[in-house]
Amino acid sequence: AKRSGDTAISFFDRKMESAVKERLQLSQALNHAIERHQLSLAMQPQVNKYQQLIGFEALLRWNHPELGEISPADFIPIAETTGAILSIGDWVLEKSCETLVRWATNSSSKHLKLSLNVSPIQFRRGDFVPRVEQLLKRTGANPKNLRFELTESLMVGDINFIVRQMNSLRQLGVSMSLDDFGTGYASLAYLTQLPLDELKIDRAFVQDLDQRGKGELLTETLISLGRSMNLAVIAEGVETDKQFERLQELGCEFFQGYLFGRPSVDAERYFND
Ligand code: C2E
Ligand code: CA
Ligand code: CA
Ligand code: CA
């Protein structure tokens, strides 16, 4: 019994050790990802109730030469602990502005909005707002077409500072969306204080619509809440016609999900003409 116990412990240690090693390897590789041109942005369409294209969400992709495609859900948390998220965030912002400038030359795409995910680490930087302002100036991108998606995890600590940052960005013309709405804590306590333009209903609440009755009560409440605050309400992760129909009945106006299109590095395939 003792022998097998020892074996179990050392196996566990080895597993731990390899997990730590893996993280370390990933974080080192991540430092070179930008300069080695391994990052790209996949664009996922956002539509209105007529399924007309209104914009895109930019989703980061990391193509590692040996490991293949690594999900942002796996590497963003690492990038946040190492600080690599700062240069990665700058890269996403710059690529997005360049994309908007390209879209602005075409009448079928110049109205499109581009939503970016902004990490709390990035947003809490003292110089985040001047950085954004400079980049907009340098690229010539129209701030009206740019939207930042923030998550509820940002709303801890100095909320006044966050509100000031958001106000300054809105003064530049950039709009603000609260991502994964409903999944965080204490949402209601600060919601009315935040200068928001949009609420993004998390995919979990879209899935809840598959069971009628109790399952959809919370979804309905979140949508009504957004509408009563005069915010645009968009649902993410819409996969079925049934979910699309029910969301419309509940007052949701904008939609994103596999039903309308998967994230693609070739956004133009979704353009109307
Ligand atoms: P998120 O912001 O909630 O993004 C939505 C995720 O749901 C994306 O996963 C998207 O591909 C996926 N999705 C979209 N439609 C559907 C659907 O109909 N069904 C299902 N099952 N999934 C759908 P992805 O691309 O793997 O991104 C994961 C997360 O990584 C994002 O979640 C976001 O939090 C983070 N992320 C992505 N890009 C960036 C970035 O540039 N910066 C930062 N800070 N975070 C990012
Ligand atoms: Ca998002
Ligand atoms: Ca989301
Ligand atoms: Ca989500």
Q: Which of 16-20, 56-60, 152-156, 266-270 has the lowest mean pLDDT?
A: 16-20
Which residues on adjacent β-strands are paired with residue 266? Answer: none
Range of weakest confidence among 57-71, 167-181, 193-207, 208-222: 208-222
* For residues 177-201, average pLDDT: 87
Residue 6 pLDDT class (50, 70, 90 cuts) = low
The alpha carbon of 32 and the centre of ligand 4 are apart by a number of angstroms equal to 28
CA of 59 to the centre of ligand 3 (A): 10
Ligand located closest to 119 CA: 1
- Cβ density class 30-39: b for 16+ within 10 Å, e for less: beebeeeebb
Torsion region of 51: left, alpha or beta (phi above 0 gives left; psi -120 to 50 gives alpha): left
Calculate how far, in angstroms, residue 107's C-alpha sits from the geometric centre of ligand 4. Answer: 31
Token pair of 273 as six digits: 């003409």
Residue 1 has pLDDT above 60, yes or no: no
Encode pLDDT of 7-45 as tens digits: 666 666 777 778 888 888 888 899 899 999 999 999 999
Q: Are 256 and 239 in contact (CB under 8 A)?
A: no
CB 227 within 8 A of CB 207: no
Tell me the torsion sign for CA atoms 51, 54, 170, 135.
positive
In this predicted structure, what is the pLDDT of residue 38? Answer: 97
Q: Tens of pLDDT along 133-161?
A: 999 999 999 999 999 999 988 888 889 99
Contacts of 168 (CB under 8 A, 6+ apart): 129
Say whether pLDDT at 171 is over 70: yes
Cα→Cα distances 140→145, 185, 264, Å: 12, 38, 24
Provide the residue type at 253 as one letter.
E
**Closest CA to ligand 1's atom 21:** 237
How far does residue 59's CA lie from ligand 1's centre (Å)? 6
Amino acid at site 68:
G
2 pLDDT band, cuts 50/70/90, is very low
- Of all helices (H) and strands (E), which one includes residue 199? strand 198-201
| Spatial CB neighbours of 107, under 8 Å, sequence gap ≥ 6 | none
Query: Going by CA atoms, what residue is nearest to atom 37 of ligand 1?
Result: 59
Cα–Cα–Cα angle for 158, 162, 164, rounded to 5 degrees:
115
**Residue range 82-118, pLDDT digits in tens:** 999 999 999 999 999 999 999 999 999 999 999 999 9
pLDDT, tens digit (0-9, with 9 covering 90-100), for 235-247 = 999 999 999 999 9
Tokens (6 digits) for 75? 């590497």
Rounded distance between C-alpha atoms, residue 64 and residue 62, angstroms: 6
Q: In this predicted complex, what is the ipTM?
A: 0.98
Q: Which atom of ligand 1 is nearest to the CA of 180?
A: 3
Q: Is 265 in the pocket of ligand 1 (CB under 6 A)?
A: no
pLDDT at 273 over 80: no
For 61-91, how does the pLDDT look when each residue is reduced to its tens digit (9 = 90+)?
999 999 899 999 999 999 999 999 999 999 9
AA letter at 209: L
Atom of ligand 1 nearest to the CA of 89: 42
Using only C-alpha atoms, what is the Rg of the chain? 21
